[in-house]
Structure 1
Amino acid sequence: MVKIGNIELPDFPLLLAPMEDVSDPPFRAVCKEYGADLMYTEFISTEGLIRDAIKSRQKLDIFDYERPVGIQIFGGDEEAMALSAKIVDATQPDLLDINFGCPVKKVVCKGAGAAVLKDVDQMVRLTKACVDNTSLPVTVKTRLGWDERSKNIEEVAERLQDVGIQALSIHGRTRAQLYKGEADWTLIAKVKNNPRIKIPIFGNGDIDSPQKAKEYKERYGVDGIMVGRAAIGYPWIFREIKHYLATGELLDPPTIQERVDACRKHLQGSMRWKGEKLGILEMRRHYANYLRGLSHVKEYRNRLVNTMDAAELFSILQEVEMHYAAV
C-alpha cells in the first residue's frame, strides 16, 4: 500500500497525469473506469482562481466517483499560491498538487511551471505557502531541472519534503527538452533511493505499454507511475498495465465495441459537463485517438469533426462500430 497523507492507494498505483485541455471530468471518467488509481484536474492558474475566471473555476469541478482526486494549481506568487490553496481546500478534493513542471512558454513566461526550477529557494517558498494554507496533503509534479546543466531534482526533492509535501511526481526530462528525446529515469531512481527521502516518488515519462511499465518498475524502484499521453484515446492502458504486472500476460486489445463505447461515454460526458455545443467542439480532438489504427477510418473521422448535431454523431459512431465489427 502507498500512502499520501491519509489517502491509501494500492501497491504500485497508476496515476493519470494532469494534461491541459485533456484531463477534464469526461476524460477522467473513462480513465477511472479502466483502472486509474489517482487522477488530477487540468492545472489551474492561481491568478485565474483569484480573479474568479470562469474557466479556472470550472476546472475545480470534481465528482465523488473520481476519488481519490487532486486539484493541481500553478503560479509564481506566494500570496496568490496561499490564497488559491485556501480556495482549493474549500472545494474538498483529496489532495492539492502544485505544477512545477509545465514547459509551455506562456506558463514559463509568467515565472510559473517549470520556470520555478531556476530558483529552488522560490520553489520552496511557493510550496510552503500552499502547505501552510490548506488542510489537504500537498504534492508536487516537476521535472529533472531547467536544462542539462541544472538537473537539481535531488536537492528539490529533499527541500520540498522538508517543508511538508507528501509525494513527488517527477517527469524524466528537463524543461529545455520539452517532450522530445527519451525520458531519463536514472535521476528519478536516485531520488527514490536517497535515504533522506521518505515520501512516495512517482515516475513519469514515456510509459506507453505494460511491458515498459513493468521494466521501469523493476529497474527504477519507484512507488508508482504516472501515465499521460498514452492514455489519450486509450484509457485501457491502466487495465492492461495492472493485468500484466499481476500475471505477466498481455490482455487482448479493446474490441471495436469497447472503443466506440468509451468514445460515446466520453462524448456524452463532454456534452453534459460543458453544454452540448462546447462539448461537441472540444470532443473533436479525441476522435483520432479513439479510432487510431483502424484502416480507412478517415471518412468517418472527417464526418465526426464536421457536424454539430449530437444525434448524427452517435449515429456515425454506431456506423463505425458496425462496420469494423464486420471486418
Structure 2
Amino acid sequence: MRIGPYSIEPGVILAPMAGVTDKPFRLLCKRLGAGLAVSEMTTSDPRFWNTRKSRHRMDHDGEPEPVSVQIAGTVPSVMAEAARHNAGEGAQLIDINMGCPAKKVCNAWAGSALMQDEALVGRILESVVAAVDVPVTLKIRTGWSPQHRNAPTIARIAQDSGIAALAVHGRTRDQHYTGRAEYDTIAAIKGDLRIPVIANGDIDSPHRAREVLRHTGADAVMVGRAAQGRPWIFREIAHFLATGEQLPGPSLAEIRDILLGHLQALHAFYGEQAGVRIARKHLGWYAKDRPENRAFLTVVNRADGADAQLRLTRDYFDALAAGVAPEIAVAA
C-alpha cells in the first residue's frame, strides 16, 4: 500500500490512541513490525502547542519515516494552520481525527461528532489538503449512530477532497468500543473508492486480520487496543499474512526485555516521575494475561522511582522464566 510517496510495508498499522501512542510506544511498535504508527491526537488549537503535553506529542526526532501526526479540531482554517505547523515540525503524513468517540472530544464538535455535518467535513478536508504539501489521511467511524451510518458518503467526500488514504473503524460513535465491529460498511467503502482503505476494529489476531482483509478487500489493517501490552502482534500479523504460518509467541525472557526497554524509554522521554507513572498502565497491559500478575501489579505500582520499577519488573520476569514462584517485595 502506498500513501503519497511512501510505501507502507507491511500493511499493519498502529492506530492513534490518546495517552497510548506516544513516541516510545510508536518506536517500539515499529521495531516489532508495524508498517506505520500514527501519533496520538494533537490539538489544532495553537494556544496549547507549547504546553508540555503538546511538545511531547509533537516530538518526532529520530522516528523512522513516514512520521504520521493526527490532528483534531472543528474549524477549517485552524485545522489548516495546525497541519502546516505539524508539517513544519517534521510530520510527513497528516491524519485528521473524525473517529474519536470520547465525550470530551465530541462535545467540542470534534472527532466522530463531525460526521453529523457532512458539509463541514468537506470544508475541513479541503482546507487541510490545500494547506500542506504532505499527504493527508482521514480516520472515521461507520457513522454517529446505527441509524446514521453515513461513512460511505463521508468516504466519497474524502476522496473528492484529495485525501490520500482512509481508515475506517467498524463501529458508530454511539457504540464507542462495545459490541463487535462490523465490516460490511468498510467493504462497501472499499468497493466505491480509488484511494487506499484501512480496516480497523477488533483486529486482535493474525487470523482475524486475514479474515477482515478478505471480507473487506481493504488495503491494510489497523490495530489499536490489541497492541496494548502486546506490541509484537504486528510482526505476528505481518508474518501470517505473508506466509500463512503462525509465529510462536515471544518467550518470557523476550517479553521481559521488551518491557524493560519500554520502561526505560518512558523514563527517559517523560522524566523519572512522569515516566514511572505513565509506565504503570503499560505494566498492567503487559501483565494482564497471567493470573499471578495481580500481586505483581499491586506491588510494582507502589514503586515511586525508575530503579525500583525496573528492578521489580526484571526480578519478576526472571523468576517466571526460571519456572519459580516470584518473590515480590517492595525494595526500599
Please give the range of the TM-score, normalised by the shorter of the 2 chains.
over 0.9
1:239 maps to what in 2? 235
Superposition CA RMSD, Å: 1.3
**What is the CA distance between 1:174 and its match in structure 2?**
0.4
Instruction: Assess if the C-alpha contact under 8 Å between 2:76 and 2:127 holds in 1.
Output: yes
- Secondary structure of the structure 2 residue equivalent to 1:64: coil
Q: Distance in 2 between matches of 1:48 and 1:233?
A: 33
> In structure 2, what residue type is equivalent to 1:3?
R
Q: Distance in 2 between matches of 1:103 and 1:121?
A: 20
Gaps of 5+ in 2: 324-332
| Residues 1:169 and 2:167 aligned together | yes
Q: Which of 20, 23, 27 is equivalent to 2:21?
A: 23
1:230 maps to what in 2? 226
| Residues 1:308 and 2:304 aligned together | yes
**What is the CA distance between 1:39 and its match in structure 2?**
0.8
2:295 maps to what in 1? 299
Instruction: Assess if the C-alpha contact under 8 Å between 1:34 and 1:239 holds in 2.
Output: yes
Q: Distance in 1 between matches of 2:79 and 2:203?
A: 31
2:180 maps to what in 1? 182
Matches within 5 A, 1:69-80: 69-80=67-78
1:273 maps to what in 2? 269
CA deviations on 1:163-211 (whole Å, 9 max, x unpaired) are 11100000000001111111111010111111xx111000000000111
- Secondary structure of the structure 2 residue equivalent to 1:132: helix
Q: Distance in 1 between matches of 2:118 and 2:271?
A: 42
Runs of 4 or more consecutive aligned structure 1 residues displaced over 4 Å after TM superposition: 48-51
> In structure 2, what residue type is equivalent to 1:236?
W
Instruction: Assess if the C-alpha contact under 8 Å between 1:49 and 1:57 holds in 2.
Output: no
Q: Which of 281, 284, 295 is equivalent to 1:285?
A: 281
Instruction: Assess if the C-alpha contact under 8 Å between 1:50 and 1:80 holds in 2.
Output: no
Q: Distance in 1 between matches of 2:47 and 2:243?
A: 45
**What is the CA distance between 1:256 and its match in structure 2?**
0.8
Q: Distance in 2 between matches of 1:189 and 1:217?
A: 9
CA deviations on 1:223-265 (whole Å, 9 max, x unpaired) are 0000000000101101111111122222221111111111111
TM-score, reference length from structure 2? 0.94
**What is the CA distance between 1:42 and its match in structure 2?**
0.6
Q: Distance in 2 between matches of 1:89 and 1:296?
A: 46
Question: How many pairs does the alignment contain?
Answer: 323
TM-score, reference length from structure 1? 0.95
Q: Distance in 1 between matches of 2:258 and 2:46?
A: 32
- After superposition, the Cα gap between the structure-2 partners of 1:28 and 1:49, relative to the gap in structure 1 and judged at 3 Å, is farther
Higher relative contact order (CA 8 A, sep 6+): 1
